[in-house]
Amino acid sequence: MPFVTWLANVMSPNLYISTMKKQKFILSMLFLAGSAAAALAQTQAPVAPVAEKIPYEIKGSQGPRQDPYYWMKERENPKVMEHLKAENAYLGAIMEPTKALQEQIFKELVGRIEEDESSVPYKLGEYYYYSRYEKGGEYAIYCRKKGDLTAAEEIIVNGNDLAAGNEYLSFYIEMSHDHKMAAVIMDVAGRNFYTIKIKDLSTGEWLKDEIKDTRNGCIWTTDNKSLVYGVPDKETLRVYQIKKHVIGDKAKNDVVLLQEDDQTLDLYAYESRSKEYIFAFASRTDAGIIKYTKANQPDVFTTIEPMSTDHYYTVDHIKGDEFVVRTNYQAKNYRLCKTKIAAPAKENWTDIIPARDNVFLETVEFFKDYFIAQESTNGLTTLRVISPNGQNDYIKFDEPAYYATLGYNPDPNTNDIRFVYSSLITPYSTYEYNVTTKAKKILKQDIIPSGYDKSQYVTERIMVTARDGKKVPMTIAYKKDTFKKDGSAPGYIYGYGAYGYSNEDYFDSNILSLMDRGFVYANTHIRGGQEMGGSWYDEGKMMNKKNSFYDFIDCSKYLIQEGYVGKQKLFANGGSAGGLLMGAVSNMAPELYLGIIADVPFVDVITTMEDETIPLTTFEWLEWGNPKNKAEYDYMMSYSPYDNVEAKNYPNMLVTTGFNDSQVQYFEPAKWVAKLRATKTDNNLLLFKINLDAGHGGQSGRYESLNETAFMYTFMLHCLGVTK
């Protein structure tokens, strides 16, 4: 009996115990089997799991479709868990010979992080707040000091204590306005359902209050007596209610302040810069509507501007009787307006920053006597300080490509503003800029404890001509003494291209492990993001979605044709909607890649967009398409990765998922992998890595996440035949 078959039998549903400890025990039998496993590897290759085909007809909006792997959607079906465990066992057997390399790379990655790192403190009220890590600790510790930074440290909450007994933790805090209490918002499963607990900082005791199944954080009312928070639907995860919880009361008595019944809209609450108002933002991917209420006693919400197609706007309040509005109404690249609170509809909006064809208004932050506009031109960011007299001062940056953004500036009365700067070769740096003196100073730059010499690395910004003539930005980086532009180097290309999310060129010390081994790293800025303005997004969604795929393929071809990367030495990576990108390019241009890594990939487009009970479906119809519309259905069907798997050769592939993923359900990549195994004609690796205790973002601890990165890098090096 083959070892993996025996292992699958061991993991039968009758013996399964749903804990990470049991999972680790079973996998240890494979990873630590020593000479027995080694002997097996020499005599017989591991056998890939073959998923059973069970006939099933989906009664779709455009007619029936057959899906023999539909049964994998049954989360409680023991057969599903048995299959996922068998996939993990197969992955372990294939990668067992690479364990030494995995460990080597993991140590490299750990060596580049400050294990006792602290954030830059910021002042709020009488306190300086910051977070820090302890050596060996997986999670952040939130702290503060009263008066000045020489005062005694007060620990607000220790993430390592919160994580005790759990395999996963995502958490953050919200301080009350009087600094006496902290709301701790945490998820211990990875499903994006958060529990809010409250800690009394004067006593160090936890209050009895416990609000379960929330999402998108919480807001303290200005009297410090209540919390305002969002409630998601248990099935779709759409936040449909905004509730108020009175401190000391039971959660079952919480009052609904606002309910959104439109199934295509997702609610989000946030507070104004002035702390005087709470805004409720109901949105889908193309449009939104904002309502407001007073933050001291939130009650009835009042509409600012009714929803209309293709109109997306945000609102803030700084002081006085006016709101400020960032809007794409009659402004594809957005403009900034002001309006009286008493008459906030768009016919009363007057420009502060008018619309411009060549400048994209990313965001604006207001201070007492000035404001800062974060803008981009040709995909490169500038920060513009605008004084009341109209004077403009620009904070500019010198590298050919970089990431720059406003930092955390909670105090609107300061003249010192913080911003963050980075590039593919410049570590994260926090700066402070004085708007009066124009002086700029660095407060902190991330340290690479194992050593890093920026001068040994190069970054370039390239404009790739896509097949339709559009110029697509791509940023690359490599190490001088390991890279040769002669068509011999391996390459790693990353992409996303969806939701108007800009794929920024920030520093990732992990990538050094690849560049030090001769890799070229390429970061693409394909259509579907907003790197090149509002139109860049429109040209990469809905009936233009294939532009995202074509842009990525054309960037990949450029790397090979120009000698940056050798033929059959290029690896591609993307996650979530970027995983859809990976699925599409693996069908459209598999010959370009030696390997593809698809993280938590959205690959079963039609089935997901037709199922309104699946999380994040209805309010994404205007991102991908509504299958009830025949033209949109046909277009999605033409690129949906799952529906376009063919009997042909595919690259080596590593696919990942989290069993608790609420954004891209585990069964999408599970079905895709099963179909690929049954259909493809090559003998290349197809590995499926299932994290049974995490969600969309993978493992939560910083060391656990580094283990995942080390595994991915080892997969690529293994495909290249590199052993160290």
- The residues that are catalytic are 576, 661, 696
275: left (phi over 0), alpha (psi -120 to 50) or beta: left
In this structure, what are the phi and psi dihedrals at residue 26, rounded to the nearest 5 degrees?
A: -65, -45
Residues 6+ apart with CB under 8 A from 597: 571, 572, 573, 582, 653, 654, 655, 656, 712, 715, 716
Residue 413 CB coordination number (10 Å): 7
Q: What is the DSSP string of 635-685?
A: HHHHH-TGGG--SS---EEEEEEETT-SSS-THHHHHHHHHHHHH--S---
CB 489 within 8 A of CB 467: no
The 3-state DSSP class for residue 383 equals: strand
Give CA–CA dist 383/394, Å, rounded: 6
Residues 6+ apart with CB under 8 A from 591: 649
Structure-token pair, residue 56: 């099933």
Give CA–CA dist 179/224, Å, rounded: 9
CB 641 within 8 A of CB 548: no
CB 134 within 8 A of CB 160: yes
The 3-state DSSP class for residue 542 equals: helix
Residues 6+ apart with CB under 8 A from 383: 372, 373, 374, 375, 394, 395, 404, 406, 419, 433
Q: What is the DSSP string of 112-134?
A: TS-TT-BPPPEEETTEEEEEE--
User: What are the start-end ranges of the H helices in 388-522?
Assistant: 512-515
- DSSP annotation of 78: H
CB 448 within 8 A of CB 125: no
CB 21 within 8 A of CB 32: no
Give a three-class secondary structure readout of 706-721: HHHHHHHHHHHHHHHC
Give CA–CA dist 262/292, Å, rounded: 18
The 3-state DSSP class for residue 60 equals: strand
CB 598 within 8 A of CB 656: yes
- What distance separates the 2 farthest-apart alpha carbons in the chain? 81
SS3 content of the chain, % helix, strand, coil (to 5): 25, 30, 45
| CA-to-CA dists, residue 678 to 53, 66, 74, 351, angstroms | 10, 15, 21, 59
